[in-house]
Amino acid sequence: MTEGKDLEVGHTNDKDTTITAETEGSTSDTNTHGGYDHGLSSFQEKKSVFAKMRAWELWLDKRLKFEPMGIDRLPEDARKPPRTLNMMLLWFSLLMAPGMITIGALGPIFGLSVADSIMITCIGNAMGSLVPAWTVTLVPQTGLRAVAVSRYAFGIQGSKICGALTVFVNIGYAVIGAILAGQFLRAVSGGSLDISLGIVLVVLLALVVSFLGYHVLHHYESVAWILIFILMLVQWGQSAPRFPSDITTHELQGIDYVGSALTFFAIMFGQCVAWCSCAGDYYVHFPADVNKWKLAGLTWLGMFIPTTFGALLGCYIGGAIFSNNDLLQVYETSGIGQVILDLLHPSGFSGFVGVFYAFAALANLAATFYSSALAVQVMHSRFIEIPRFIWVLVFGVITLALALGGRNVFENVLSNVLPILGYWTICFSSVLFVEHYVFRPRLGGYDLEGWRDSKRTPVGLAAVATLLTCIGLSFLGMCQTWFVGPIAKQIGAYGGDVSDYIIIVVAPIMYFLCRSWEIKVFGR
Locate the domains of the chain by residue range. Answer: 2-408+423-522
- Is 455 exposed, middle or buried (CB count within 10 Å of its CB: 0-12, 13-18, 19+)? exposed
The phi and psi torsions of 479 (rounded to 5 degrees) equal -135, 95
Residue 407, CA distances (Å) to 198, 200, 412 in order: 11, 12, 10
Residue 34 near residue 471, CB atoms below 8 Å:
no
- Quote the pTM value: 0.83
Cis peptide before 346, with omega less than 30 degrees from 0? yes
CA–CA separation, 89 and 133 (whole Å): 14
What SS3 state is found at 7?
strand
| DSSP of 14-66 | -SPPPP-TTBS-S--TTSSSSSS-----HHHHHSHHHHHHHHHHHHHHHHH--
Structural element, H or E, at residue 8: strand 7-8
Full 3-state SS string of 143-196? CCCHHHHCHHHHHHHHHHHHHHHHHHHHHHHHHHHHHHHHHHHHHHCCCCCCHH
CA–CA separation, 235 and 233 (whole Å): 5
Structural element, H or E, at residue 510: helix 499-522
* CATH fold label, 2-408+423-522: Hydantoin permease (1.10.4160)
Structural element, H or E, at residue 2: strand 2-3
Ranges of H-type helices in 240-291? 254-273
CA–CA separation, 522 and 164 (whole Å): 26
Beta bridge pairs of residue 8: 2
What SS3 state is found at 303?
helix
The distance in angstroms from the start CA to the end CA of the chain is 21
Eight-class DSSP state of 493? S
Which residues neighbour 30 within 8 Å (Cβ) at sequence distance 6 or greater? 16, 36, 37, 38, 72
User: What size, in residues, is the chain?
Assistant: 524
CA–CA separation, 437 and 447 (whole Å): 15
CA–CA separation, 90 and 467 (whole Å): 30
What are the pLDDT tens digits along the chain (524 aa)? 334 334 545 544 444 433 333 445 434 444 444 334 444 444 444 555 666 766 666 666 665 555 555 677 888 877 777 788 878 888 988 888 888 998 999 999 999 999 999 999 999 999 999 999 999 999 998 988 888 899 999 999 999 999 888 888 888 878 888 888 888 888 787 777 788 888 888 888 888 777 665 556 656 666 778 888 999 999 999 999 999 988 888 877 889 999 999 989 988 998 899 888 888 888 888 888 889 999 999 999 999 999 999 999 999 999 999 888 899 998 888 778 888 888 988 878 888 888 888 888 777 787 788 778 778 888 877 777 777 778 888 888 998 888 888 776 666 666 666 666 678 899 999 999 999 999 999 998 898 888 888 889 999 999 999 999 999 999 999 887 778 889 999 998 888 889 989 999 999 999 999 999 999 999 88
Structural element, H or E, at residue 219: helix 214-223
CA–CA separation, 263 and 260 (whole Å): 5
